Structure 1
Amino acid sequence: MSEVVPLPAVAPGTWRYARIPLICSLPLVLVSPFLAVGGLSVAAGIVWFHRDPKRSPPPAGVVAPADGRVSIVRAEGDRVRVAVFMNVTDVHVNRAPMAGTVGDVEHTPGKHLPAFTKESERNERVRIDCGECEVTLIAGAVARRIHPYVESGEDLERGERIGHISFGSRADVLLPARFDVEDVRVEVGQRVRAGETVVASS
């Protein structure tokens, strides 16, 4: 008996995006095999983009909320912000930096400017109060949908999935007030992995 190959783990809603090019590819086989292959390639690319691999959080420390490169480390009053820019090749499922209880989940409409620029401060975003820390998911130039997974009152474990951004773009963590810049363990330009890389510890 042949071994059954499991479907890849993907973010919720992935197949809704992938089904359109997938369905369109079927009749295109009769018209143009080249276009049919193109449709299948687009569907495969969407599934790959929304992949959701397992992660193993460390026992301590504040972990990265996203895969990608650190784009910002800065003090904001008595708090420190660490931002991670997600490239198109990065996993876009976001994770809780710390254990805690969700306070609120707030959506703010806005623009869709490149997430690596200063102008992205005006972009659409979803702010998730994770208890001691705060995570903000920010849409980018290509991103058009932020999907939070959590609601107010839910308990979170370190590294637990909290949402994903379809086709974009940046995730910020605002550290608890007890952390300062000297407690940050990453630097701008460094690659990090959501739920695994420690970005701050005291």
Structure 2
Amino acid sequence: MMKKFFEWTGIFESHLSAAEWAWRIITLMVVVGGGTTAGLLAKGSQLFSALGPLAWMAIGLFAAGIVSLIFFLVKLGNLRSAESAYFQTLTQPRTSINPLAESFTDQIIYLPDLYLPRKQLHSHKLFKRCKIVGPGAIAILGGSYVHSGFIEAGSLVVLPENTYLTGVLVFENCTVEHCEFIGVTLLVNKQAGEAFKAMGASVVGL
């Protein structure tokens, strides 16, 4: 018996929060209490006292149904409001990043937010204390990278000379300070690849 009780309490804890269970219990108590009160009032009233127990019970059940309906409508209204707020959030732009800006400071930047209408080239721009998040690839062609880190970046890939890139973001001579690149594959030229390799990075293509 105790084993079954603890199994039941395990389901209690895993499926619903304590607040949700408390709300359900309170709702049940209010519904039962409302129906019982209505039945007792009907029994004690001159208008319904002569109708008998079945009528009192019917009045109690009717009152309980009304209270249940009110709780249902309140719950349904809250659910519809939550759904409306959720879908409104989905329709909002994820970010206010302007890829045409010349500088970016203290921002979380997803690679698609940096896409430009035609050539994906960002030249001589400043990135400061930003987190640049993939998945995706960035070609780094020169620039200054000060106190910046590369997380889950994998191996750096050295581009052959005179490589033409399309559909890949290019950072050309950009200044990057105190930034993190997360989940981004880096494509670099030979000179940058040698510099990264000297710092202990895994470089492919040298």
Range of TM-score over shorter length: under 0.3
Larger relative helix fraction: 2
**Higher RCO, Cα 8 Å, sep 6+:** 1
Question: TM-score, normalised to structure 1's length?
Answer: 0.22
Larger Rg: 2
Question: TM-score, normalised to structure 2's length?
Answer: 0.22
